[in-house]
Amino acid sequence: MAENLGGRKRLSTNPFDDTDGRFVVLVNDEGQHSLWPVFAGVPAGWTVAFGGAGGADRGSALRFVDENWNDLRPRSLREATDNTATLA
């Protein structure tokens, strides 16, 4: 894992920051999204929403998150807020 810094390369110690890595996007029951390296197992409670078996490049995975996770509140909070608003 290396990051290009104006012609110089720096080793990245965090696989989530690997610009050359392959990633999937995970989603949990609360609708929260996570960028996840393909080599790491999918944690319990999360499912693959984008990237499939081979994953996708980091930029494509981040675009998917940007386009599909517009409200950062957990689903339970959104629903509680929506229910309170309709009762008022």
* Total domain count, the chain: 1
Q: In terms of pLDDT, which residue wins out, 37 or 3?
A: 37
Query: CA 65 to CA 59: how far, in whole Å?
Result: 10
Q: For residue 47, give its domain range.
A: 20-87
Note whether residue 6 is domain-resident: no
Is residue 62 one of the residues assigned to a domain?
yes
Question: Is residue 47 in a domain?
Answer: yes
Query: Would you place residue 10 in the very low, low, confident or very high pLDDT band (cuts 50, 70, 90)?
Result: low
What's the whole-model pTM score? 0.74
User: For residue 24, what is the domain's CATH number?
Assistant: 3.90.820.10
Could you tell me what percent of the chain has a pLDDT over 70? 80
Enter the tokens of residue 83: 């229910």
Q: What is the DSSP letter of 15?
A: G
Give which of 70, 76, 66, 9 is closest to 35, Cα–Cα: 66
Per-residue confidence band for 62, with pLDDT thresholds at 50, 70 and 90: very high
Examine residue 13 and state whether it is found in any structural domain, yes or no. no
Where is average pLDDT lowest: 2-6, 12-16, 67-71?
2-6
